[in-house]
Amino acid sequence: MQLRDELHQHNYRYYVENSPVISDQEFDFLMHELQDLEAKHPELFDANSPTQRVGSDLNNEFETVVHTRPMLSLGNTYNRQEVADFWKRVSDGLMGAPFQICCELKFDGLSISLHYEDGCLTRAVTRGDGTQGDDVTANVRTIRSIPLQLPKGGDWPGQFEIRGEILMPWASFERLNAEREQAGEPLFANPRNAASGTLKSKNSSTVAQRGLDAYLYYLLGDGIPGDGHYQNLEAAARWGFQVSKSMTLADTLDDVFAFIDYWDKERRNLPVATDGVVLKVNSLAQQKSLGMTAKSPRWAIAYKFQAEQAETTLRQVVFQVGRTGAVTPVANMDPVQLAGTQVRRATLHNADVMASLDLHYGDRVLVEKGGEIIPKIVGKAEADNSKLKNQNSKIEFVERCPVCGSTLVRYEGEAAHYCPNETGCPPLILGRIEHFISRKAMNINSLGPETVDDYYRMGLISNAADLYELKALSKSSSAENDFKSSPLGGGLAEAKILSSIEQSKQVPFERVLYAIGIRFVGEIAAKTLARYYGSMEKVAEASMESLMQINGIGEVIANSVVQYFANPDNRAFVERLRGYGLQMEIGEQQKQAQSDKLNGQSVVISGVFQHHSRDEYKALIEQNGGKNVGSISNKTCFILAGDNMGPAKLEKAQKLGIRIMSEDEFLSLIQM
């Protein structure tokens, strides 16, 4: 379709070349026109259409795919002498023949393999273990710098693979962390972690919103243009791929070191994170001649930059309480320039890290950024007997919560200390409410963290049960239909919030049990407890001995459940929820549907189904005692297969001799 081709070209000019030829408004108009056309003609659906960039809210299960060619890791070095040794090894391996080294930036992201057929993106696979990775095609389609369809008439081969790195630019990273901080959620440590977490999201719409980017750096296939790696990437750039413009060919070792020295400083001005350079023999024939070791190619090496450090004076340590109750020490220091920004604060992580650093007020300390969003103190700057100078000013980790004064606790196996005052410490109260309203709990999706903060500050809520009083408060505040006078804000926003709260009363018991926030009781444990006991009342009365008899419930979870219901405040909270009409036991339909016909069986779901959705089949498997698993192994009992089952899964199932069961066979088995 001509309109699709036109929009693909505009995407390339905007996201790869950074030289748009039409305005955003004109682009949006063309996009809306295409959306309207596709809505009127669903028979013309194309997964690579520009309209598919926004992603989907469907829950994607990642299929494991075997790489056509292994994705080996590179040998790393921080040592210039080892770079010289690499040059000599290459020269010796090529028997003194002349060679060139392609010097590239080492992007700090997530490796990806993209497969194209007839110019269309057909599959995107993560590196995984190098032999096989996860199929993340649906998520990769949302990344606008990755072409879904190459321009018609290009000289690209019919089939080829191109590898590169999925990245989160600094601007996207800072925006995302600002949003997470506002929501009281843990910050991503660096752009690589953020990119990795985003790409493995099960909702491609989330990926689309977070602004990932991609740089491609290796072209493979039978029909690629020529013998030169550098020249092949130049061709890939002409086809529409985003290839780094910083690449250069080095004829001498001095050329290599000049490239390293330049980018060690200049990388701070790049829009994406880099952590070194990659050096590759340019000739593909020479690469083949040099060969591989068991883990990495002999024709390439990665030189990693040292993390930048700076020296400054430690003035104060403050202790912050997160919404999970975790207490984090943060150092306040004299301002110092580090990695292009002025740094005043650095994380000390936890009590163990603080103890290992043996810090005193006034110490000269070394601060390192190394890609972290909050810099960290890595040691003392000088051995000046500061301990003797500051005998009375050693910095100790606090024993009590800096917000509410409760004695901190440290749970077995965890590095952090926690405030246990879940019903009286403001950060924890807000954290519990946000957990309660989250999508996988009560799904009160019209409420966000900012609104929760506002309601708490206004005194409208002090725990999650107060949400169910808001309707009465709204009515009393708006007796004369003056919605603007309502403390909830009034109008459509208020109506949407109240409607969402009311709808949450229909959320099934297992999610209510998860929502009330028993420490260590996640989604799976809540389902297990709900189905074993059947009601909140029975869970509340369960003993340690009874709880530990349940498969999947260990001592830590059992003790947490007992302690939760031993607290009168928690019991009162649950009783309030019961009074507001929340589901406190498994529904009759669920009870009737339960059986042990699949007891202990691990089931993989694959394909497109006719009679029920994937989520409905997952629920049926669990209701009949089975366990849903995402990947095939020798422990898999059978595969519930719909239409278009993934070829890799089919091949693996046949190899392992695992039964493939149709929808009708499955429904007959559980007697639906």
Does the active-site annotation cover 106?
Answer: yes
CB 581 within 8 A of CB 608: no
As given in the structure block, the two tokens for residue 587 are: 């529904």
Q: Which one of 40, 88, 106, 152 is the catalytic residue? A: 106
Question: How far is Cα 577 from Cα 136, in angstroms, rounded to an integer?
Answer: 40
Question: How far is Cα 51 from Cα 36, in angstroms, rounded to an integer?
Answer: 10
Pairing state between β 627-629 and 602-606: parallel
* Amino acid identity for residue 116 in this structure: Y
CB 463 within 8 A of CB 429: yes
Phi, psi (degrees; rounded to nearest 5) at 78: -110, 5
Q: Which residues pair with 457 in a beta bridge?
A: none
Angle formed at CA 481 by CA 475 and CA 482, multiple of 5 degrees: 100
Instruction: Show the 3-state SS of 87-142.
Output: HHHHHHHCCCCCCCEEEEEEECCEEEEEEEECCEEEEEEECCCCCEEEECHHHHCC
Question: How far is Cα 529 from Cα 513, in angstroms, rounded to an integer?
Answer: 8
CB 271 within 8 A of CB 170: yes
* Amino acid identity for residue 38 in this structure: E
DSSP 307: P
Question: Angle 449-457/426-437 helices, nearest 10 degrees?
Answer: 130
Neighbours of 542 (CB within 10 A): 21
Contacts of 621 (CB under 8 A, 6+ apart): 598, 603, 605, 627, 628, 640
Question: How far is Cα 265 from Cα 259, in angstroms, rounded to an integer?
Answer: 11
CB 359 within 8 A of CB 387: no
Place of tokens 């202990």: 600
Catalytic residues: 106
